[in-house]
Amino acid sequence: MKLYGYFRSSAAYRVRIALNLKGLNADLLSIHLVKNGGEQHSAAYRQLNSSQLVPTWVEDENECSFILTQSLSILEYLEEKFTDIPLLPLDLQQRALIRAFSQSIACDIHPLNNLRVLQFLKHQYEISDEQKMQWYRHWVDIGFSSLEKQLQHSNGQFCFGELPTFADCCLIPQVYNALRFNIDLSAYPKIQSIYQHCNTLIAFQNAAPEQQADAV
Amino acid sequence: MKLYGYFRSSAAYRVRIALNLKGLNADLLSIHLVKNGGEQHSAAYRQLNSSQLVPTWVEDENECSFILTQSLSILEYLEEKFTDIPLLPLDLQQRALIRAFSQSIACDIHPLNNLRVLQFLKHQYEISDEQKMQWYRHWVDIGFSSLEKQLQHSNGQFCFGELPTFADCCLIPQVYNALRFNIDLSAYPKIQSIYQHCNTLIAFQNAAPEQQADAV
């Protein structure tokens, strides 16, 4: 089992957390998103991931490869295949709320603020660094305000209850990313508290960007 | 069961298709995304959906409401709760590929091209209508090229095999949206063929924007 990722990619970071929480081992292979114009655009990688994004999950079995893209679909696949340590509860409504929270990050925040979008904005509209930060902050502020509301019944340990779920796999990388962009999180006490708690756990610590072999 | 949506919202359209395919009835309630500055920003609607987006799914039972946001999480919830007519196969790898395809739309195309982003670009950077179209086309071209590759083994009836799945629920609204923006689809024969086939089916026809009560 192989995971193609990049140390700073939030989407790859989500999958690394899930693998660690589930106690699964995979070879972590680096696709450098910046070097040489971005290795994700190479012909070889495009064979694996036609969207030219990370992560990509690959299983080689009996000379047959199973190739899967999209971090949330990788999480769902791991959840269905490796059931010993679940990252979703059994209750249908709770599962749904956890998926909605995860998608609030993966559909509403991250797609607007990832590398390819910031690069396109800069090159196409020649916006300043300050305008780029304004764009970044705008979508994080709207997104984090919604996440904080969705966490109003959280006890502050994990996003939903006493165990980590998809929601925590998605939240921690997004907060890490926001801090890298110097976003002020004081308006989001639940988010901050969950971020701090998760980062006391080895599964989250070992998944962090600075712990990866390709970290700069 | 109630679905808050908007006739032109791709995300609401996905859920309408799924409801029709599963033979489920829900009250369809309109949140006008443009009128009065956008009804999605009203205090009442923000109580239901803190992201101020459509759709929102609401179930009222025993004086207790279950409120769910995010179209893909609503699809997953309906799939787990109403199992008679499935929209995902049993095979784990097929389920995963269908989810990845759906997320290629819901995470990589739609979030960049929806109303709030186009409005923000226009107001913040004062871009021209031609620049707006360039932005729209850029993300559709990258996204549709990937979707077409993911469909290379499709027989052209549905995205994955002989039955409609989440993938078709997501693809048809995205193609509808692209056609509204006059995108040339000639480079995407599989996408075109699936779009045409699905639109011969009553479940897809009845979910179309122009069939909704709030259509202009």
The predicted pLDDT at position B127 comes to 87
The predicted pLDDT at position A45 comes to 95
Contact A72/B110, CB-based, under 8 Å?
no
Would you place residue B140 in the very low, low, confident or very high pLDDT band (cuts 50, 70, 90)?
very high
Query: Which of A48, A69, A90 is the best residue to mutate to test the B interface, defined by the most B CB atoms within 10 Å of its own CB?
Result: A69
* Mean pLDDT (whole number) for A62-75: 94
* Mean pLDDT (whole number) for B157-173: 97
**For residue range B5-33, what is the model confidence (pLDDT) as tens digits?**
999 999 999 999 999 999 999 999 999 99
Looking at the structure of chain B, the number of domains it has is 2
Contact B96/A77, CB-based, under 8 Å?
yes
Residues B114 and B191 in one domain: yes
Residue of B nearest to A90 (CA): B80
For β-strands B56-61 and B64-69, DSSP reports them as antiparallel
Coil, strand or helix: which one is A34? coil
What is the nearest CA distance from A117 to chain B, expressed in angstroms?
9
Residues A79 and A132 in one domain: no
The predicted pLDDT at position B156 comes to 80
**Cis peptide leading into residue A189 (ω within 30°):** no
| Enclosing H/E stretch for A43 | helix A43-48
Coil, strand or helix: which one is B85? coil
- Specify if B212 maps to a domain: no
- Specify if A147 maps to a domain: yes
Would you place residue B61 in the very low, low, confident or very high pLDDT band (cuts 50, 70, 90)?
confident
A110 vs B contacts (CB less than 8 Å): 107
Contact A70/B99, CB-based, under 8 Å?
yes
The predicted pLDDT at position B76 comes to 98
- Specify if A143 maps to a domain: yes
Residue that terminates a domain, selected from A84, A119, A136: A84
Residues B150 and B195 in one domain: yes
Asked if residue A42 has pLDDT above 80, the reply is: yes
Query: Which of B73, B141, B160 is the best residue to mutate to test the A interface, defined by the most A CB atoms within 10 Å of its own CB?
Result: B73
Residue that terminates a domain, selected from A47, A63, A84: A84
State the residue range of the domain holding B149: 92-204
- Looking up tokens 């190479």, which residue turns up? A42
Give the whole-angstrom CA distance, residue B114 versus residue B6. 13
**For residue range B118-138, what is the model confidence (pLDDT) as tens digits?**
999 988 888 899 999 999 999
Residues B78 and B103 in one domain: no
Residue that terminates a domain, selected from B31, B60, B84: B84
CATH code, B6: 3.40.30.10
Query: Which of A14, A49, A51 is the best residue to mutate to test the B interface, defined by the most B CB atoms within 10 Å of its own CB?
Result: A51
Give the whole-angstrom CA distance, residue B216 versus residue B202. 21
Nearest to B99 among A50, A76, A117 (CB): A76
Cβ atoms within 10 Å of B211's Cβ, excluding its own: 11
Residues B25 and B97 in one domain: no
**For residue range A92-134, what is the model confidence (pLDDT) as tens digits?**
999 999 999 999 999 999 999 999 999 999 888 888 999 999 9
Asked if residue A63 has pLDDT above 90, the reply is: no
Give the whole-angstrom CA distance, residue A56 versus residue B195. 27
Q: Is the ipTM of this complex over 0.95?
A: yes
CATH code, B193: 1.20.1050.10
Look over chain B and give the mean of its residue pLDDT values, rounded to a whole number. Answer: 96
Residues A114 and A198 in one domain: yes
* Mean pLDDT (whole number) for A80-88: 98
Asked if residue B62 has pLDDT above 80, the reply is: no
Query: Where are the strands (E) in chain A, listed by range?
Result: 2-5, 27-30, 56-61, 64-69
Residue of A nearest to B53 (CA): A108
Residues A98 and A33 in one domain: no
Give the whole-angstrom CA distance, residue B152 versus residue B156. 9
Residues B57 and B147 in one domain: no
For residue A64, list its beta bridge partners: A61
Separation of first and last alpha carbons in chain A: 25
Residues B62 and B112 in one domain: no
Contact B118, B132 (CB under 8 A): yes
Contact A107/B112, CB-based, under 8 Å?
no
Contact B95/A104, CB-based, under 8 Å?
no
Contact B38, B82 (CB under 8 A): no
Would you place residue B216 in the very low, low, confident or very high pLDDT band (cuts 50, 70, 90)?
confident
Residues B119 and B30 in one domain: no
- Specify if B172 maps to a domain: yes
The predicted pLDDT at position B63 comes to 80
- Looking up tokens 């990049």, which residue turns up? A6
Would you place residue A156 in the very low, low, confident or very high pLDDT band (cuts 50, 70, 90)?
confident
Give the whole-angstrom CA distance, residue A116 versus residue A37. 11
Q: Give the count of alpha carbons within 13 A of B60, CB side only.
A: 6
For residue B5, list its beta bridge partners: B30
* Mean pLDDT (whole number) for B99-108: 98
Residue of A nearest to B141 (CA): A51
- Specify if B182 maps to a domain: yes
Cβ atoms within 10 Å of A16's Cβ, excluding its own: 27
